C-alpha cells in the first residue's frame, strides 16, 4: 500500500508559523519515504470557516513549495459522514444526549469537587424510549456521543514513543452537534479511511483525540494509521504563541520579505536536536529529515532566528537564482553587484538599499550626520584617486597609497572613508562595492566631506 498522509488545516484563520511547522514535518517525512500527501480542508465549522482563509492556505502552501497530490474539503463530504454516523447509530455506538451546556458544566464541577475525573456520566444512555419522545416533543434537539470502550489504548507514536491512554478517563466524545453538523473527530476518521491514509502527523494537542479516534477506526472496521504527535510551538518566553507574543502568520512573514526556503528550513529544524542549517532546496531538507531528531519539548519561536537563516540563504544564492527578484527591485550591477552585497543582506529587498547608496547622489552629505569624518583622510584620498576603469583591486591599491601618505592604518584609515563614501558605518566590502560608486561620485562624496570641516 502506498504511504499517504494528510495535512488538515481548518480555514478559520491564516496559517501561522506553528501550522507551517506541521505541514513541513508532514511533507518532509512523506517525501522521505516516497509517499503522497493529501490536503484536507477541515471546514465543518460553517460559522468560523471562511473562503478567504481557504484561499490563503492554498497560496501559502504554494509559496512554501509544498506540493500535495490531492485536495478535499470536508464541507463536500457530508454524505460520507452521514453514512458512517448511521452505521454507528445502528450498532449503538452513537447515542443521543440532551444535556445543555449549563447542565454539563454543573456535572463537571460536581465531579471535580468530589475528586472524580470530569467524565460524562452517560445518563442519556438510561433514558427510556418514552423519555426520548418527551424531550423531542419539548423541542429539545439531541447531540450525539460516541460510546467509548473503557479500555486502555496504546500506540507507538513516531515522535513520542509508546503511548497509553486509559479511555475510562475520557468523556464519550460528541461527534454531532445539536444542529446536525459534525465536529472534527468523525469526519477526520472517515476521510482518513476513505483516502487510505497511512500516517497522521499532527500537533500534540491531538494526543487525547487519538485514543477516541483509534476506537472509531476500529468501530468503522478500518486499519489504524501510524501516528506522530509533535510538540507545539511556543513564544520565546515559553508562553502560548499569539499575536501579542510575536507569532506571525505565513502571510505576515511573506510580507516581511523572508524567503520561503528560509521558513521551510526553520520549520524543519526548530524543536529538533540539530542545529539550523540553511539548505537551499526542499529536496536537501528531505534528504536530511529524520523523526528521531525531533525533541519532545516545545519549539520556541524566535523571529530573529528566521532573519539569521534568511541571511545565510541569501549568502548562498547565485545571481541566476535572484536575477528576477533583483530586476523587480530595480537593482542593477548584475552578478558583480550581487556578489558585492549578498554577504550583507538579511532580506533581498536590502539589495535595493545598497544599490541606491552606490548610485544615488546627494544623500551622502554627512555634515548633519552622526559620524565625524576625518577630513584629512578625505583630502588625501581625493588627491590620490586613481583613474578609471575601476575593479576589485582598486580599493586596495588606492588605500595603500593613502596609508603611505597619512600613516593611518586599519580602522583609522578605512572607517572615515567608508563613512564618507557610503554614509554608513558598516556595509559591503569596499573592494567590490567601490567600482559601483565610481570615480565621479567618489570624488563628490569626498569633496562634500572635506568642505564640511
Ligand atoms: N483541523 C485539525 C487541526 O487543525 C486537524 C487535526 C488533524 O490533523 O487531525 O487541528
Read out DSSP for 264-276?
A: HHHHHHTTBSSPP
Task: Identify the band that residue 276 occupies on the pLDDT scale cut at 50, 70 and 90.
Answer: confident
Task: Identify the band that residue 362 occupies on the pLDDT scale cut at 50, 70 and 90.
Answer: low
* pLDDT over 80 at 300, yes or no: yes
Task: Identify the band that residue 374 occupies on the pLDDT scale cut at 50, 70 and 90.
Answer: low
- Taking CB atoms within 8 Å and a gap of at least 24, the contacts of 277-285 are 278/309, 278/312, 278/313, 278/316, 280/313, 280/316, 280/317, 282/27, 282/28, 282/31, 282/65, 285/28
Q: In 3D, which of 198, 221, 223, 233 has the Cα closest to residue 6?
A: 198
* pLDDT over 70 at 368, yes or no: no
* DSSP H/E element including 282: helix 282-287
For residue 192, how far is its CA from the centre of ligand 1 (angstroms)?
12
What is the structure's pLDDT at 370?
46
For residue 282, how far is its CA from the centre of ligand 1 (angstroms)?
24
Contact predicate 366/373, CB 8 Å = yes
What is the structure's pLDDT at 450?
61
What is the structure's pLDDT at 156?
97
pLDDT tens for 159-182 read 999 999 999 999 999 999 999 999
- Numbers of helices and strands, H then E, in the chain: 18, 12
Nearest-angstrom CA–CA distance, 339 and 388: 21
Best mutation site among 202, 212, 225, 230 for ligand 1, i.e. most ligand atoms within 8 A of its Cβ? 202
What is the structure's pLDDT at 425?
87
Q: Considering the entire predicted model, what is its pTM?
A: 0.89
Task: Identify the band that residue 246 occupies on the pLDDT scale cut at 50, 70 and 90.
Answer: low
Across 352-361, 372-381, 441-450, which has the greatest mean pLDDT? 352-361
With a Cβ cut-off of 6 Å, ligand 1 is lined by 8-10, 42, 184, 188, 202, 206
Q: Which residues face 165 on adjacent strands?
A: 153
Nearest-angstrom CA–CA distance, 57 and 356: 36
pLDDT tens for 81-110 read 999 999 999 999 999 999 999 999 999 999
Across the range 302-316, mean pLDDT stands at: 94
For residue 40, how far is its CA from the centre of ligand 1 (angstroms)?
9
For residue 238, how far is its CA from the centre of ligand 1 (angstroms)?
23
Nearest-angstrom CA–CA distance, 277 and 285: 10
* pLDDT over 70 at 365, yes or no: no
Q: Which residue shows C-alpha cell 509559496?
A: 63
* pLDDT over 90 at 261, yes or no: yes
What is the structure's pLDDT at 373?
59
φ and ψ of 94, to 5 deg: -125, 115
Across the range 382-392, mean pLDDT stands at: 96
Across the range 56-72, mean pLDDT stands at: 97
Mean pLDDT of the chain: 92
Amino acid at each position: 500500500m502506498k504511504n499517504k498522509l494528510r495535512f488538515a488545516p481548518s480555514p478559520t484563520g491564516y496559517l501561522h508559523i506553528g501550522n507551517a511547522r506541521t505541514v513541513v514535518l508532514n511533507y518532509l517525512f512523506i517525501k522521505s519515504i516516497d509517499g503522497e500527501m493529501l490536503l484536507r480542508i477541515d471546514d465543518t465549522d460553517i460559522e468560523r470557516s471562511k473562503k478567504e482563509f481557504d484561499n490563503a492556505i492554498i497560496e501559502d502552501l504554494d509559496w512554501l513549495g509544498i506540493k500535495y497530490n490531492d485536495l478535499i474539503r470536508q464541507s463536500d463530504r457530508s454524505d460520507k459522514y452521514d453514512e458512517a454516523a448511521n452505521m454507528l447509530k445502528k450498532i449503538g455506538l452513537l447515542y443521543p444526549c440532551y444535556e445543555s451546556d449549563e447542565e454539563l458544566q454543573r456535572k463537571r464541577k460536581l465531579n471535580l469537587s468530589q475528586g472524580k475525573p470530569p467524565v460524562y456520566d452517560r445518563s442519556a444512555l438510561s433514558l427510556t424510549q418514552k423519555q426520548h419522545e418527551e424531550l423531542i416533543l419539548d423541542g429539545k434537539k439531541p447531540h450525539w456521543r460516541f460510546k467509548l470502550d473503557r479500555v486502555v489504548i496504546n500506540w507507538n507514536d513516531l515522535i513520542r514513543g509508546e503511548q497509553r491512554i486509559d479511555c475510562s478517563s475520557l468523556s464519550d466524545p460528541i461527534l454531532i452537534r445539536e444542529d446536525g453538523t459534525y465536529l472534527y473527530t468523525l469526519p477526520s476518521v472517515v476521510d482518513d479511511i476513505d483516502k487510505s491514509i497511512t500516517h497522521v502527523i499532527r500537533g500534540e494537542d491531538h494526543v487525547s483525540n487519538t485514543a477516541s479516534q483509534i476506537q472509531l477506526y476500529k468501530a468503522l472496521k478500518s486499519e489504524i494509521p501510524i501516528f506522530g504527535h509533535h510538540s507545539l510551538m511556543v513564544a520565546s518566553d515559553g508562553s502560548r504563541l499569539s499575536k501579542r507574543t510575536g507569532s506571525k502568520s505565513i502571510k505576515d512573514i511573506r510580507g516581511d520579505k523572508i524567503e520561503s526556503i528560509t521558513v521551510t528550513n526553520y520549520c524543519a529544524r526548530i524543536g529538533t536536536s540539530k542545529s539550523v542549517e540553511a539548505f537551499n532546496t526542499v529536496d536537501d531538507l528531505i534528504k536530511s529529515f529524520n523523526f528521531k531528531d525531533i525533541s519532545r519539548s516545545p519549539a520556541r519561536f524566535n523571529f530573529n532566528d528566521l532573519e539569521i537563516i534568511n541571511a545565510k540563504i541569501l549568502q548562498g544564492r547565485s545571481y541566476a537564482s535572484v536575477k528576477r527578484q533583483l530586476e523587480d527591485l530595480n537593482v542593477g550591477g548584475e552578478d558583480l553587484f550581487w556578489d558585492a552585497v549578498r554577504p550583507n543582506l538579511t532580506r533581498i529587498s536590502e539589495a535595493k538599499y545598497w544599490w541606491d547608496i552606490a548610485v544615488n547622489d546627494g544623500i551622502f552629505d554627512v555634515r548633519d550626520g552622526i559620524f565625524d569624518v576625518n577630513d584629512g583622510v578625505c583630502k588625501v584620498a581625493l588627491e590620490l584617486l586613481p583613474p578609471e576603469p575601476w575593479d576589485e583591486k582598486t580599493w586596495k591599491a588606492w588605500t595603500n597609497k593613502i596609508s603611505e601618505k597619512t600613516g593611518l592604518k586599519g580602522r583609522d584609515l578605512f572607517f572615515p572613508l567608508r563613512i564618507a563614501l557610503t554614509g554608513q558605518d558598516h556595509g559591503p566590502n569596499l573592494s567590490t562595492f567601490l567600482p559601483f560608486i565610481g570615480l565621479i561620485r567618489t570624488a563628490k562624496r569626498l569633496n562634500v566631506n572635506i568642505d564640511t570641516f
